[in-house]
Amino acid sequence: MTLPRVQILALGGTIATAPDASGAMQMGLGADDLVAAVPLLATLADIRAETVSRVGSHSLSFDQIHALAAKIMDLDVDGVVVTQGTDTLEETSFLLDLLVERDIPVIVTAAMRNPALTSPDGPGNLLAAVRVACDPWMKAHAKALGVVAVMLDEVYAAADVQKVHPTRFNAFASPQTGPLAALVEDRLVPLSLPVRAPVEAARKRLGKASEGREQPVALLWLGLDEPGYILEAMIDHRDQLGYRGVVLGAMGGGHVPERVASLVGQLGEIIPTVVAPRAGGGPLLRQTYGGPSSEIALRKAGLLWGGRLNPLKARVLLETCLRAGLDRAAIAEVFETFG
């Protein structure tokens, strides 16, 4: 029987750390080391392993993920597993989902517990990811599922997955939708299919993104009684600061403190500014509340509406839209399709 060809692409992260002389965990392991730690892999798939980088995911760049997406587009294999750090997995997997169009499973996995600890989760997550990559339901639905994350035997859609805890073992979830599938024994049990129309629609318009240059997008979280000094600085010193877009982590269904409402409106006039839910995701309101700091007023003032994407994913999408050279109207349309 020929085994499916699965390509492992290792970027770094806790899953690939090793202790230095002081006991501190440093980036060290490559793709071959990760594969060697899980002998069972060879019984499931014809594994090919490549070390792409050895960096913590907190230091990955948009450019690196664009290059990774291009590599994945060119691979002649039956499935791809990317291993990386957990810190930005929710952003990198979503960016890959926006960029990669393949009809094979593309999976991102990582580890919370490093290899020097008792019960590290890296080997189990890698094994689960390869199992998922070889699963018939995954193969049959690969296009419809897009890029997925596999952590602790659960499969999550890239557009929805979040790191919901900084340190605990079970740090990943899709709070809005739940997992797409779960591994039980050696079977993948499908639970749901993701809503993909917005990602597909976005991808069609983002075709040229990988040819574009970095487009820095600021992420501003709005808290109780925010006085707006950062907003003022962004309005007054826009050119010196160099940001090309802004994502606001806004309150509730799309609200900002009244004392900054007019600053937010001014910012939205001079730079593409997306309102996204600081509550972590879920569609925003469009037409319920009145008053100067409500969703109705902010939408009228020209703020772009983030829909169901959490602020981190909205930032990834805005950066990618700007790289692709989309104008404000086109960016607004891309975001509107996300609900």
User: Which positions touch ligand ASP (CB under 6 A)?
Assistant: 13-14, 56-58, 85-87, 110, 112
3-state SS class at 157: strand
With residue 319 as reference, give the H or E element that holds it. helix 311-323
Minimum distance, C-beta of residue 141 to ligand ASP, in the bound complex (Å):
28
For ligand ASP, the closer CB: 27 or 284:
27
DSSP for 65-102, written as a single string: HHHHHHHHHH--SSEEEEE--STTHHHHHHHHHHH---
For ligand ASP, the closer CB: 86 or 310:
86
Round to whole Å and give the CA distance between 3 and 161: 29
For ligand ASP, the closer CB: 57 or 215:
57
Minimum distance, C-beta of residue 322 to ligand ASP, in the bound complex (Å):
25
Round to whole Å and give the CA distance between 194 and 270: 35
Round to whole Å and give the CA distance between 84 and 12: 5
Minimum distance, C-beta of residue 85 to ligand ASP, in the bound complex (Å):
2
For ligand ASP, the closer CB: 54 or 139:
54
Minimum distance, C-beta of residue 112 to ligand ASP, in the bound complex (Å):
6
Minimum distance, C-beta of residue 240 to ligand ASP, in the bound complex (Å):
31
For ligand ASP, the closer CB: 85 or 307:
85
Phi, psi of 9, deg, nearest 5: -120, 110
Asked whether the CA dihedral 133, 135, 138, 142 is positive or negative, the reply is: positive
Which position has the token pair 């892999």?
41
Amino acid at 184: V
| Residue, CB closest to ligand ASP | 85
For ligand ASP, the closer CB: 4 or 13:
13
Minimum distance, C-beta of residue 56 to ligand ASP, in the bound complex (Å):
3
Round to whole Å and give the CA distance between 335 and 199: 10
Which residues are CB-contacts of 206 (< 8 A; sequence separation ≥ 6)? 98, 99, 320, 321, 323, 324, 326, 334
Q: How far is CA 106 from the centre of its chain?
A: 13
For ligand ASP, the closer CB: 110 or 130:
110
Minimum distance, C-beta of residue 60 to ligand ASP, in the bound complex (Å):
8
